[in-house]
Amino acid sequence: MFLRVESLTKHFGGLSAISEVNFELSEGDMLGVMGPNGAGKTTLINLLSGFLMPDEGNIFLGGENLVGLKPHRIVQKGIARTFQQVRKFSNLTVFENLKVACKVEGASEKDLFPGSTEKRILEILKFVNLYRKRDVVSTSLPFDDLKRLEIGRALATSPVLLMLDEPVSGLTLEETDGFIDLIRKINSYGVTIIVIEHVMRALMNISRRIIVLDGGRKISEGTPKEVSRDQKVIEVYLGEMAERYA
């Protein structure tokens, strides 16, 4: 199995953010993660990427347990991620932002964009549709391009597993469609993908399988069709909507 998560658990004081979460991923899979606010989705990504240490459980990538490794070592193993809040080197150009990411030592041998550093960067910028803005300082980019830059930087580390934290949040319908196409394109290159997303239209369109979290626990897993019909999932989301509009 490409990725296996076993009994992953994380507490913050008396709060159980993630509790005994289990799932497996085959290489090249596309997994969606959904759940109401506070369900533990971002905590899960933080655990998988080494930004948090689990209290219990294991994370196996290709048979190797990654628990205890620092984030930079996780990247070297081939796991990259994006963030809800776009992170960038504000004083650097688009090209220079990717150049920093390309300097990750010992990055995955599965290089989607082989060649010299400059050649790799230019190919990635073409891939994420930022080639014409390669010399633009990142602070000048519109929001959707900043999100493309975030994905481009992740791709520069040559990931075998890419985790996207709300990649289409805040985008227009047209921009969302463009990102759905981009994510599918990345996946078609053999990159395994985990997507957290509140925009259900996007998540249902791109995911082959979905897990649903609530209160830190996995309450459902299946195809988008199966999950959308799960009574537990319906109750969770109806409850969230009722609280939102109360």
88-145 pLDDT, tens digit each: 666 889 999 998 888 665 444 567 788 888 999 999 999 999 999 999 998 899 999 9
Question: What is residue 191's predicted lDDT score, i.e. its pLDDT?
Answer: 96
Higher-scoring residue by pLDDT: 46, 101: 46
Whether the pLDDT of residue 200 is over 90: the answer is no
- The SS3 assignment for 39 reads coil
Residue, of 192 and 236, whose pLDDT is higher: 192
Q: What's the pLDDT score for residue 86?
A: 74
pLDDT at 104: 60
* Cα separation, 45 vs 82, whole angstroms: 10
Which CATH number do you get for residue 24? Answer: 3.40.50.300
Cβ(148)–Cβ(130) below 8 Å: yes
What is the Cα–Cα distance from 82 to 75, expressed in whole angstroms?
A: 12
Residue 146's domain spans which residues?
3-244
Total-model pTM: 0.91
How much is the pLDDT for 66? 97
Q: Name the 3-class secondary structure at 58.
A: strand
**Across all residues in the chain, what is the average pLDDT?**
89
Beta bridge partners of 23: 5
Q: Which amino acid does the sequence have at 155? A: L
153's tokens? 């930087």
Closest by Cα among 174, 163, 231 to 201: 174
pLDDT at 15 over 70: yes
Q: In angstroms, what CA-CA distances link 114 with 111, 193, 194?
A: 6, 21, 24
pLDDT of 241: 47
Instruction: Name the DSSP letter for residue 140.
Output: G
Question: Three-state DSSP class for 38?
Answer: coil
Work out how many domains the chain is built from and give that number: 1
CA distance 228 to 235: 11
